[in-house]
Amino acid sequence: MTPSLRYVFPVLAAAIGTALLLLPLQAQAAHAYAQFGEPKYPSGFSHFAYANPDAPKGGTLNLSNTGINSSFDKLNPFSLRGRAAPGLLELMFETLTVYSLDERNTQYGLLADDIEVAPDFTWVRFRLDPRARFSNGDPVTAADVKHSFDTLSGPLASPNFAAYFAEIKDVVVLDAQTLRFDFTRPGRDLPFVAGSLPVFSQKWGVQADGTRLTFDKLRMQPPIASGPYVITKAVEGRDVSYARRADYWGTDIPVRRGTLNFGEVTYKLYKDRDTQVSALRGGNYDVFNELQMRYWCCQYIGKRFDDGDLVKKLFPHQNPPAMTGHAFNIRKERFSDPRVREALLNALDFEWINQKIFDNYFERLYSYFSNTTLAAQGLPSEAELALLEPWRDQLPAAVFGPMVKLPNTLPPSSLRNNLVRSLELFAEAGWHNRDGALRNAAGEPFVIEVSGGRGDNMLLDPYYLNLRKLGIQVVQKLSDPTTNYSRMKDFDYDFSPIALRESRMPGPELWRAFNSKDADVPGSNNIIGVKSPAIDALLLKLLDAGSQEELETAAHALDRVLMHGYYIQPWRYLTNHHLIYNQRLRYPAQLPLYYGANEWVIGYWWDGNVEQPPAVAHNQP
């Protein structure tokens, strides 16, 4: 998904290629692979330009939970049941390759020191670095890689992994250090999928008496992996600590030089946001990436900020914003009609919420590819129509017209006009307001159940008020993150926040979220329940693109279909990372272009209280 599941593990984001050059006609082994064009960093490069190769090793980094990780009950991030401890993927597990953070879509060898891609993109071959070692001292072998693939693709791991690796037909061990991934289709994107396989030892799960725990039963058994850190303390539901391995094998390889510098990394977990914010102000942990502007503007104040002990700073990035927003469960009949979903979207007054609650910090998403050349605009081109035409009888007629323009309340538009349009759409779908309630022909009321914490409801209370104006019954239930997580795995919901992961190579992420075969698989990423042969076909076109032009055409066509389907109510995005951090922390002078804030801190910052060694000359491209 490099950072969390977005950069370390496959589910993590990769890049959109911009060059139009094709790879050579003969497969050639290399230190890197670019989707289009040539890698920025040549063979034998010293380090990434955004890393400080002379950063000192040691010191401490104290972090807090992010998102819904308010507790954990297992050390296995790959099984379906339970909640994994934070930091496992970033600190313990390594992949065959890693993405550079200053190129659109290029991977460089990590566990693999050689990458060979078939000229027809039907396979990729990796040779493992002979220096790579697991935390128990064993060498990383091709058999371990195959074991990792077979396990994650099998029934004992979360189905998300099987879905992601579904287009890898087979993994063939060629010798102790070499293996080949064979694909079910030719695809420029598939070497990236194979390269981002997390690798772990075959001995993980073997007990002292020689018996083996099945993978789904691995709970608090520490992983045997090749990353720089091992677990030193894990207290369920409270905190987890990692120590940097003195014998870490990869300290001086190019993609690791100057990275993962802290001697100890500890995650402290808090049950609610207000306690978490107070703990940061009190100095209980060192850094936080704030996404809620009501906290950013008004909570991070006081003596420690005035004295400079704590620093608030914006860090710009060029990440393509992920589609985030709110989705309805279209498995339920009342949400299955796209006219109903469009009507519900018209009731959302984003401009009012952004001004009154977010102080206009946010921009609104307008596409599944906002702020990129992949976003559809205006009328479809001839090339887009060629992709859409075979599915005309399955698509709304509007797909073949102008691109969706989201409703807004800026003059001359108004919330009143938008609500009138909502009632028109509901009427077309068979719902009419009678006696103050929106009802279908059978007289049944339109009911929406929403759940979440108090903060979630506060943000959306204006929206719920608008829904009630339309005659919709909104049933609000308070629930904790763990309960919500469990319900979402079983698709037991009406209305839910949804956030796709940022991805510079968007095809795999969108495939996980919208492919038809996962719609009925509990725990899959297709939480909306989309089943559309047209979407499946366009997703494959996106994945199969052989040039930047083909990539953009497929993305434009797909964008039109997804936006006109009103599957997600687009929400918001930020163009900067909003960090609060302890003044003793240091970071490289050159920022990456595409990066997650938390993963960048973990991967490239260091403790300023640790003495910096004398600078060493390093060759650079």
471 torsion bin: left (phi>0), alpha (psi -120 to 50), beta (else): left
Both ends of the chain: CA-CA distance in Å? 27
**Which pair of tokens denotes residue 274?**
């207000």
Q: What is the pLDDT of residue 29?
A: 66
This prediction has a pTM of: 0.76
**CB-hemisphere CA count at 13 Å for 4?**
17
Q: How confident is the model at residue 67 (pLDDT cuts 50, 70, 90)?
A: low
Q: How confident is the model at residue 28 (pLDDT cuts 50, 70, 90)?
A: low
Distance CA 481, CA 479 (A): 7
DSSP letter, residue 495: E
Residue carrying the six token digits 């970033």: 90
Examine residue 412 and say whether the peptide bond preceding it is cis (omega within 30 degrees of 0): yes
Q: What is the pLDDT of residue 293?
A: 83
Q: What is the pLDDT of residue 453?
A: 55
Whether residue 12 has pLDDT greater than 50:
no
Examine residue 139 and say whether the peptide bond preceding it is cis (omega within 30 degrees of 0): no
Q: How far is CA 487 from CA 202, 498, 523, in A?
A: 33, 14, 10
Which residues on neighbouring strands pair with residue 97, listed in sequence order? Answer: 109
Q: How confident is the model at residue 115 (pLDDT cuts 50, 70, 90)?
A: very high
Tell me the pLDDT tens digit for each residue of 128-169: 999 999 999 999 999 999 999 999 999 999 988 998 899 999
**Which pair of tokens denotes residue 129?**
């670095």
Neighbouring residues of 81: CB distance < 8 A, sequence distance ≥ 6: 216
- The residue that leads in pLDDT, 292 or 472, is 472
Distance CA 368, CA 565 (A): 12
Residue type, 87: G
Q: DSSP 3-state assignment of 543?
A: helix
Cβ 246 vs Cβ 132: under 8 Å: no
**Which domains, from first to last, does the chain contain?**
4-273 (3.40.190.10), 324-573 (3.10.105.10)
Residue type, 213: L
The C-alpha angle with vertex 277 and arms to 275 and 283, in degrees rounded to 5, equals 100
Comparing CA positions, the residue from 480, 491, 489, 481 lying closest to residue 69 is 481
Return the percentage of the chain with pLDDT > 70, whole number.
92
Tell me the pLDDT tens digit for each residue of 390-431: 999 999 999 999 999 999 999 999 999 999 999 999 999 999
Q: What is the pLDDT of residue 294?
A: 81
| Backbone torsions φ then ψ of 235, nearest 5 degrees | -110, 110
Whether residue 24 has pLDDT greater than 70:
no
Q: What is the pLDDT of residue 619?
A: 59
Cβ 40 vs Cβ 218: under 8 Å: no
Comparing CA positions, the residue from 110, 129, 130, 133 lying closest to residue 255 is 110
How many angstroms separate the most distant Cα atoms in the chain?
79
Distance CA 543, CA 190 (A): 9
Distance CA 448, CA 428 (A): 19
Distance CA 600, CA 603 (A): 5
Residue type, 133: R
Which residues on neighbouring strands pair with residue 310, listed in sequence order? Answer: 582
- The residue that leads in pLDDT, 127 or 320, is 127
Whether residue 615 has pLDDT greater than 80:
no
**CB-hemisphere CA count at 13 Å for 475?**
7
The mean per-residue pLDDT over the stretch 494-509 comes to 85
Return the percentage of the chain with pLDDT > 90, whole number.
75
| Backbone torsions φ then ψ of 483, nearest 5 degrees | -65, -45
